Structure 1
Amino acid sequence: MDESAMKGPISIRLPKAMMSELRAHLFQGDGDEHGAVIGASAVATARGLRFLGRRLFLAVDGVDYLPGHRGYRMLTADFVRQCALACADDGLAYMAVHNHPGTDSVALSGDDMASHRRGYPALLDILDGSPVGALVFAHQAVAGDIWLSKQNQLELDHAVVVGRTQETMYPSPRTLSGTDPQYDRQVRLLGERGQDILSAQKVGIIGAGGAGSLISEYLARLGIGHLVVVDFDRLDATNLPRVVGAKRSDLRPKWLPAPIARLLRYKAKHKVDIAKRVAQEANPRIQFEAIAGDITDSAVAQRLVDCDAIFLAADTMQARLVVNALCHQYLIPTWQVGAKVQVDPPTGKIQDVFSVVRQLVPGETCLWCNELIDSTRLAEEAASPEQRQAQRYVDEVPAPSVITLNAVAVAHAVNDYLFAVLGLLDADQMVTWTKCRPLDPQPAIELPRQDTVCPECVGRLGMGGLKPLPVRE
């Protein structure tokens, strides 16, 4: 690992199912100490070094976890060796785990740190470049000692449990950074701690059209600290009724002929630039990355790997494929948002109208498992214009779209994100998908399916950079 690229705090993200299994093992109700090992991939970004939980090895009491020679308890040499070799084979970092009593504060003991100094240099040799570390959990706190090398040891800043709702744990309660008075009315609901969490969030939005532009404005007004918005498209006249903040001056003037516009390199504004303008008007302090590109490009997708959440507001199969992979591979909760008007082509009669919100929870809900990624359409989208013409694909007719339908989906999705990231939802609540129809007063609730051997949500879970994303280089 390139230690010179290490910037920012060290954190670990754990899928909810893994954390639930680990908690049940560590806190068995006997008041005693128990042990385990987590195998995690490591992702180094400008926001810090982020570990992603991939494998969990539970130490059996009396077999793998015994009374210690210098401390209270210890993992046996054989268990440590087996776990370290398994992590080395998979390219994972090795994280030893145990528990201490307490609720919201915890720390590694002097005996713990001494054992690291004795054993971790040899483990670093076994791991051949992958980090080695130790985590200690209380019920609602975590601390860690992370060895990037024999000369470089750092403390864990925090851990995030990623599920239907999110939980963030620190070594001890955090001091609030202070709330901007403009958020006074929000703070009355979310609390100062909630507003503090939002200000530290990095959120990705794929698509800056009718739905994506609304998401961007909502999040900016909520006080999200960092937005990354991706869309290659430029504004055209048919977008004006739906793209938030779009002006006629953002278009190519009608009086300017197309050949002259090309000669002068005069083009309509990119949708992401309009979204940036709107967001900065709402929140001048926001960090906004406007990416006029395609999420299926490798360099673009890499800009999203350290997001805290992603919204998918583009309806191509390729965008679904990449974002679904980002969700599970990098443990990023994702909301797919859309509105659809189904029309009978021969008659033009409207068959169905709905707005839909689908939350993708890493390792739990997946677009592949629910047959929402069409392989045939994937192949069609991947074909060049010449190939499409040769194979005589029929040009797609623009789908009907109305801003109010987008607004219904976006409001549900952003509310869901807001309550999930702030931990205001029931942690054990089942993940459901919502479909709203204008003529039906009751939203339709869908229960997503999961394939326990799915190569996408299960096969990619927590892999980080160890597995290529399904993108173009």
Structure 2
Amino acid sequence: MTFHPRTLLTMTGGQHRQLHSHLFPGDGLEAAAVLLCRDAGLSDRKLMVVDLTLVPYDQCRRSPYLLVWPGQFIADAINVAEDDGLSVILLHSHPGGFRQFSDLDNESDAQVIASIFAGWGGVSPRGGHGSAIMMPDGEVIGRIYDDRHQCMAIDTVSVVGDEMRFWRNGCESSEAPMAFGADMTCELGKLHACIIGVSGTGSIVAEQLARMGFGKMTLIDYDRVEGKNLNRILNSTLSDASSNARKVDMFAKAIRGYRSDIEVVIVGQTIASREAVFAAAEADVIFSCVDSSEGRHIADRIAQAFMIPLFDMGVSIPTRKRPDGHAAIAEVIGRVDYIQPSGSTLGDRGVYTAASLRAEYLARVAPETYASQLDDGYIKGAVEEAPSVIALNMRAASAAVLEFIARAFPFRHGRNSQQARSIFALADGDEDDLGEADFQRGGILEVAVGAREPLLGLPDLGA
């Protein structure tokens, strides 16, 4: 299978809720909104909603099948969009649930879209301009016009919030497939997952996603297989260790051994490189399986800048000193965080800090200064070259994959908003969940800026 460039429209869960509330006030009449969207600057034409205007009801002439609203709102949108090269998408509701553009919609677009291009002072944005309709169940169907006024359907409209929704052009139903069934497998075949770090937890996540049916996977890891890795990296062999094979090459070969219908992209670099950032940004979902603050910091920025759902996981085994001086297990801990655009970030949640980023920087540029701050691996307080942690890694990796399934193919009885972070402590037998509301968003990382330079706002990633 080969993924061809797609036309995508993405918005946050908060934006979608705001739009649905306005477009369906309960009176059965059409309503309107204007979306301003930034093109992400990728091989896909990905339009990310950066602003929206809700057209007041009292300034429209509304009926169940027709809507007339003042052109001033479009003129205002053009004035704002031109300055930043944004695309304008005109959105209205279909209260009756008609899942197609009507003849009246087509006639309106022929006039209004042409006027948007005519009113544009400079070069038209790469993303073009378009129109969209929203159904009572929240489904959004859209289309885009280029500067020659040629129309093309938006392949996928996605909402990234407490739930993840993917509405595809031409799909017979707007409902998400049932979790764990054949329909879920079919839907996964249309999705692209990126795994950052293909080692202890990452190899397990990648194995599950490949066997579940993802149509495209990007594997990012700069490291190579060593003998000490063989007890916790799936699919690695003695031959891989002796040849010092790259982890991404080893794993891609394994996937292709049991999947002939998957596209695998390998990036044998650190995530803190331009190639790796752009490769990750193409994905529909990112799994962060790294053990460094820098790696998590970069993944955090990618998720916000390109509006991609992010799942991050980590494990830890703190120890204590027994009276006889020997080490003993104090706890066995696993954590999964779900990060959504415009929500709290990994940085906001303290998964990495300025101090931890500085420590890793010292490790690279001044290892002798860093020596006193050295982190001793999985088992805190006991140096282990080849810790036997595959069972713990599998628990954390499976929790992350199931968290994705719960949000894309809802099966929980409770609310997803209450499980932004899940922590398990195996020694005590405790499991705790924290909701999105339990974290405060710092607002430091910009949302929906795409490939604007310097990339991710980091000078080191500049062109």
**Residue 144 of structure 1, CA deviation:** 2.6
- The alpha-carbon distance between structure 1 residues 282 and 319, as it changes in their structure 2 partners (threshold 3 A), is same
Residue 337 of structure 2 aligns to which amino acid in structure 1? R
- The alpha-carbon distance between structure 1 residues 137 and 127, as it changes in their structure 2 partners (threshold 3 A), is farther
**Residue 231 of structure 1, CA deviation:** 0.9
- Residue from 354, 357, 382 that aligns with 2:336: 357
1:276 counterpart residue number: 252
Counterpart CA distance in 2 for 1:391 and 1:195 is 47
- The alpha-carbon distance between structure 1 residues 224 and 233, as it changes in their structure 2 partners (threshold 3 A), is same
Residue 27 of structure 1 aligns to which amino acid in structure 2? F
- Residue from 88, 97, 100 that aligns with 1:103: 97
Please give the root-mean-square deviation of Cα atoms over the aligned residues, in Å.
Answer: 2.8
**Residue 292 of structure 1, CA deviation:** 1.2
**Residue 58 of structure 1, CA deviation:** 0.9
- The alpha-carbon distance between structure 1 residues 424 and 53, as it changes in their structure 2 partners (threshold 3 A), is farther
User: Are 2:31 and 2:57, in contact at CA under 8 Å, matched by a contact in 1?
Assistant: yes
- Residue from 154, 157, 165 that aligns with 1:156: 154
**Residue 223 of structure 1, CA deviation:** 1.2
Question: Is 1:196 paired with 2:196?
Answer: no
2:383 counterpart residue number: none
User: Are 1:13 and 1:50, in contact at CA under 8 Å, matched by a contact in 2?
Assistant: yes
- Residue from 231, 241, 254 that aligns with 1:251: 241
1:116 counterpart residue number: 112
Residue 446 of structure 1 aligns to which amino acid in structure 2? L
Q: Runs of 5+ in structure 2 lacking a partner? A: 380-386
Between stretches 103-112 and 167-176, larger displacement belongs to 167-176
Q: TM-score, normalised by structure 2?
A: 0.86
1:18 counterpart residue number: 15
2:434 counterpart residue number: 446
Question: Is 1:422 paired with 2:420?
Answer: no
**Residue 291 of structure 1, CA deviation:** 1.6
Alignment partner of 2:117: what SS? Answer: helix
Counterpart CA distance in 1 for 2:83 and 2:418 is 34
Question: Is 1:125 paired with 2:121?
Answer: yes
Report Cα offsets for 1:74-98 as digits up to 9, x if no partner: 3423222222222233432111111
Residue 95 of structure 2 aligns to which amino acid in structure 1? P
- Residue from 323, 326, 329 that aligns with 2:302: 326
1:184 counterpart residue number: none
**Residue 405 of structure 1, CA deviation:** 0.7
Alignment partner of 1:8: what SS? Answer: coil
User: Are 2:186 and 2:213, in contact at CA under 8 Å, matched by a contact in 1?
Assistant: no
1:4 counterpart residue number: none
Report Cα offsets for 1:143-195 as digits up to 9, x if no partner: 3331231354322223111122222224553499xxxxxxxxxx996344322
User: Are 1:93 and 1:127, in contact at CA under 8 Å, matched by a contact in 2?
Assistant: no
**Residue 213 of structure 1, CA deviation:** 0.6
Report Cα offsets for 1:110-161 as digits up to 9, x if no partner: 3222323541222433675352221122224433331231354322223111
Report Cα offsets for 1:40-84 as digits up to 9, x if no partner: 1113544x3111111111111223x3469xx94334232222222
1:57 counterpart residue number: 53
Question: Is 1:463 paired with 2:442?
Answer: no
Between stretches 89-98 and 142-151, larger displacement belongs to 142-151
Report Cα offsets for 1:238-285 as digits up to 9, x if no partner: 111101111112123xxxxxxxxxxxxxx5111112221222223232
Residue 94 of structure 1 aligns to which amino acid in structure 2? V
Identity %: 19
- The alpha-carbon distance between structure 1 residues 40 and 428, as it changes in their structure 2 partners (threshold 3 A), is farther
1:83 counterpart residue number: 77
2:277 counterpart residue number: 301
- The alpha-carbon distance between structure 1 residues 189 and 366, as it changes in their structure 2 partners (threshold 3 A), is closer
Residue 334 of structure 2 aligns to which amino acid in structure 1? S
Residue 294 of structure 1 aligns to which amino acid in structure 2? T
**Residue 317 of structure 1, CA deviation:** 0.9
2:35 counterpart residue number: 38
Residue-pair matches, total: 436
Q: Runs of 5+ in structure 1 lacking a partner? A: 1-6, 177-186, 253-266
Alignment partner of 1:251: what SS? Answer: helix
Residue 68 of structure 2 aligns to which amino acid in structure 1? M
Question: Is 1:434 paired with 2:422?
Answer: yes
**Residue 208 of structure 1, CA deviation:** 0.9
- The alpha-carbon distance between structure 1 residues 446 and 273, as it changes in their structure 2 partners (threshold 3 A), is same
**Residue 364 of structure 1, CA deviation:** 2.0
- The alpha-carbon distance between structure 1 residues 363 and 127, as it changes in their structure 2 partners (threshold 3 A), is farther
- Residue from 63, 87, 93 that aligns with 2:87: 93
Residue 377 of structure 1 aligns to which amino acid in structure 2? S
Counterpart CA distance in 1 for 2:22 and 2:191 is 31
User: Are 1:39 and 1:94, in contact at CA under 8 Å, matched by a contact in 2?
Assistant: yes
- Residue from 356, 359, 378 that aligns with 1:399: 378
1:255 counterpart residue number: none
Between stretches 9-18 and 116-125, larger displacement belongs to 116-125
- Residue from 130, 133, 137 that aligns with 1:136: 133
Counterpart CA distance in 1 for 2:457 and 2:330 is 34
1:408 counterpart residue number: 395
Q: TM-score, normalised by structure 1?
A: 0.84
